Amino acid sequence: MNEGSTANAGWFEGLDRGDLDGGSEAIESGSAESPSNWPERAVETGFAESEDDYYRALHETTMRATREAVTERERADDAQLVHAVRAMDDAERTANELAERVAEWAGSLFDVDGAGVGYAREVAGREPDGPAEERAVSLAQRTVELAEEADSLRAFVERTTPAVAPNLAAMAGPVLAARLIALAGGLEALARKPSGTLQVLGAEDALFAHLRGRAPSPKHGIIYTHEYVRGTRAEDRGSAARALAGKLTIAARVDHYSGDRRPELDAELDERIATIRAREAEE
């Protein structure tokens, strides 16, 4: 701490003039109870030689804070999110498939039947007796490890998506938001798509069948997993899917082009879905 500094001296309290890293952290996390003449206090506490020197220090430090914020955003970009959510889905799918194989194999070896990753976990804890049991138990252990990796990837997606797309994550949920970004090929690509395209992302097979005249037009893709679509009665799901897709499209554009959080988008969607669901009570 500089000699002569006082309590509540501002963001520069306890900093040396050239400590840009410390200054950047102080600007990010610091606060004051009330406004004050900070340049004057900086001179009084010995942090700066003059008011001009204070403003030079402030400029240097805020530039460092901005660069660090940009770097952090780049490290949490949508490309990493796309890899993570695809890996999560692959790991979950493969773990479930292997769990079925474990259940079939272990069912022929042990006196307890079961299914799913939970049963694989039970098998993984057994002491094998003989080569066949060794291999079945080993496969069960690998299955459990893969399921645990899927859980870790899901936790990463849930932490990362709000940093990459705060409005989309809040409105769709982190995992669905990440899947939409992955299906579109990135946040920028998603932001450029019309709401009608976003609405059917994940339903490409059904859409192609429709275009070939073999099936009706799909009303929704993976956004069906959202409670606002899945939890709406069948007759109104098309309206709910369009409303959700429209707001998700706006959210993706805000996230890509400005990045600021806009809670009013959530409120507008809530109101629209409430109106759609009210139709059932009126009939």
Per the domain annotation, does 202 fall within a domain?
yes
Same domain, 185 and 147: no
pLDDT higher at 283 or 51: 51
State the average pLDDT for the chain: 85
Predicted confidence (pLDDT) at residue 71 exceeds the cutoff of 60: no
Predicted confidence (pLDDT) at residue 120 exceeds the cutoff of 80: yes
Taking each helix axis from N to C end, the angle separating 20-29 and 51-75, rounded to the nearest 10 degrees, works out to 80
pLDDT in tens, 213-259: 665 565 678 999 999 999 999 899 999 999 999 999 999 999 999 88
Question: Cα–Cα distance between 84 and 198 in angstroms, integer?
Answer: 20
pLDDT in tens, 262-282: 999 999 999 999 999 998 666
In this prediction, residue 194 carries a pLDDT of 95
Question: Cα–Cα distance between 126 and 144 in angstroms, integer?
Answer: 13
One-letter amino acid identity for 1?
M
pLDDT band with cut points at 50, 70 and 90 for residue 142: very high
Which residue range forms the structural domain that includes residue 156? 78-163
Predicted confidence (pLDDT) at residue 100 exceeds the cutoff of 90: yes
Same domain, 263 and 181: yes
Per the domain annotation, does 15 fall within a domain?
no
Q: What is the CATH number of the domain that holds 249?
A: 1.10.246.90
Predicted confidence (pLDDT) at residue 73 exceeds the cutoff of 60: no
* Span 146-170, average pLDDT: 96
**In the numeric block, which tokens belong to residue 250?**
């706006």
Question: Cα–Cα distance between 239 and 279 in angstroms, integer?
Answer: 11
Same domain, 138 and 238: no
- Please classify residue 128 by burial: count the beta carbons closer than 10 Å to its beta carbon, then call 0-12 exposed, 13-18 middle and 19+ buried: middle
Predicted confidence (pLDDT) at residue 108 exceeds the cutoff of 50: yes
Per the domain annotation, does 128 fall within a domain?
yes
The answer to whether 221 and 265 have CB atoms below 8 angstroms apart is: no
Taking each helix axis from N to C end, the angle separating 174-184 and 237-257, rounded to the nearest 10 degrees, works out to 80
* Span 163-175, average pLDDT: 95
Give the distance, in angstroms, between the CA of residue 259 and the centroid of all CA atoms in the same chain.
Answer: 14
Per the domain annotation, does 9 fall within a domain?
no
Same domain, 66 and 83: no
Q: Total domain count for the chain?
A: 3
Same domain, 277 and 257: yes
Sequence-ordered list of residues with C-beta below 8 angstroms from that of 29, at least 6 positions apart, any chain: none
* Span 105-125, average pLDDT: 93
The answer to whether 9 and 41 have CB atoms below 8 angstroms apart is: yes
User: Nearest-CA neighbor of 252 among 57, 122, 61, 244?
Assistant: 244
